[in-house]
Amino acid sequence: MSEVIIEVRGLKKRYGKTLAVDGIDLTVRRGEIFGLLGPNGAGKTTTILMLLGLTEADEGRISVCGADPMRDPLTVKERVAYLPDMVGFYDNLSARANLRYTGRLAGIEARELDKRIDGALVRVRLEAVADYKVGTYSRGMRQRLGLAEILMKGAQVAILDEPTNGLDPQSTFELLDMIRTLRDDGMAIILSSHILDRVQAICDRVALFNSGRIAIEGSVRELAAQVLGGGYTLQVDTSPEFGSLNAVLTAVDGVTGVEAEEPGRYRVLAMRDVRDAVARAMVNASAPVLRLASVEPSLDEIYRRYFEGLHVKT
């Protein structure tokens, strides 16, 4: 296991009478992308601000890169880069001047800074427009400029709050791709989002927030096992004329659930990869196997199921 970069225990924050964050525990390691998911107002941004020392926690202990953001905010802010939700820049300055300002505030020495800015702008592919005023930039370009700032800072941790908010699919794809390269550089990345399928593609682990608490946490597969009752989902197509396959599929060892989606199409939930056993069972029952596909458990579905489950209980 690699080194723990962020450790949070029993974090609480009150705004007046409402408990915005209610006892959160988190552990993030070097070189992983950790997703904070949840509906608006679930406490994701508040948690992020407390990690950065921009908001004071009421209770709990936080350690970011070995420093406490309450006692030692400058050390934390030196080692952590932050891309806020709907990031803003000084529109009357060029991209380069914007980066130079924050870079100097971050205490990067002048000659080194110019080099880093150039490198960062090349990596986010803004080098051609680096001297244009940011006022002329599109939403996606601003977001990429925000990433350039993170690259320039050379931080150990990057915290991105809703980085894909308001981006078109193409820009979202590009942005997430760039975020992935940050992880490959060995940065720990915390990412909050509600665009689930995109997040799923890049997150190593996710935590599902619900009214100030972390409801469930783990890799997407672990969550699927917890919420959907199976880590693997198969889609099985057979001829609609064949009749019900329910009994045949349920009998296969390891299968936890079977749903008939439409005549001849079934969804099979299993604890492990049972494609081989399912195929055998179908052939033995002389059912035509028209398709047998493993479906990645979708975060969207986990999310929806989880919150549906909550509503049923309450």
Partner 1 sequence: MSRRSGSPWKGSGIVFEKEFSDHLCSPRMLVLEWLILLTGIGAVFISIQGLRSTTAQDPFLFLRLFTDARESMPSFLSVLAFLIPLMAIGLGFDSINGEFNRRTMSRVLAQPIYRDALLLGKFAGGLATLAVGLASLWLLIIGLGLYRLGVPPSGEEVARGFVFLCISVAYGGFWLALAMLCSVVCRSPATAALSALGAWLLLSLLWPLMAGFIAGMVYPSNEVAVLLGIPNPQQIGLQQMLSRLSPGTLFGEAVVGMLQPATRTFGVVFASQARGAVVGAPLSFGQSLLLVWPQLTGLIAGTISLFAISYMAFQRQEVRA
| Cα–Cα distance, 137 to 148 (Å, whole number) | 14
Smallest distance, partner 1 to C-beta of residue 219, A = 29
The number of beta carbons lying within 10 Å of the beta carbon of residue 237 is: 16
Q: Report the Cα–Cα distance between both ends of the chain, in Å, rounded.
A: 39
| Cα–Cα distance, 44 to 208 (Å, whole number) | 10
Q: Which alpha helices (DSSP H) does 107-260 contain, by range?
A: 110-123, 139-153, 169-184, 196-202, 220-227, 246-250
CA angle at 227 for the pair 12 and 85, rounded to the nearest 5°: 45
Nearer to partner 1, 28 or 52 (CB): 52
Interacting residues toward partner 1 by CB under 8 A: 45-46, 49, 52, 54-55, 70-75, 77-78, 80-84, 86-92, 101-102, 104-107, 146, 149
Pair 176, 198: CB distance under 8 Å: yes
- The closest alpha carbon to 276, from 247, 261, 254, belongs to 254
Smallest distance, partner 1 to C-beta of residue 161, A = 9
Nearer to partner 1, 16 or 169 (CB): 16
Nearer to partner 1, 83 or 207 (CB): 83
Nearer to partner 1, 88 or 288 (CB): 88
Smallest distance, partner 1 to C-beta of residue 85, A = 8
H or E element in which residue 83 lies: strand 80-83
Smallest distance, partner 1 to C-beta of residue 288, A = 58
Smallest distance, partner 1 to C-beta of residue 156, A = 13
Nearer to partner 1, 102 or 235 (CB): 102
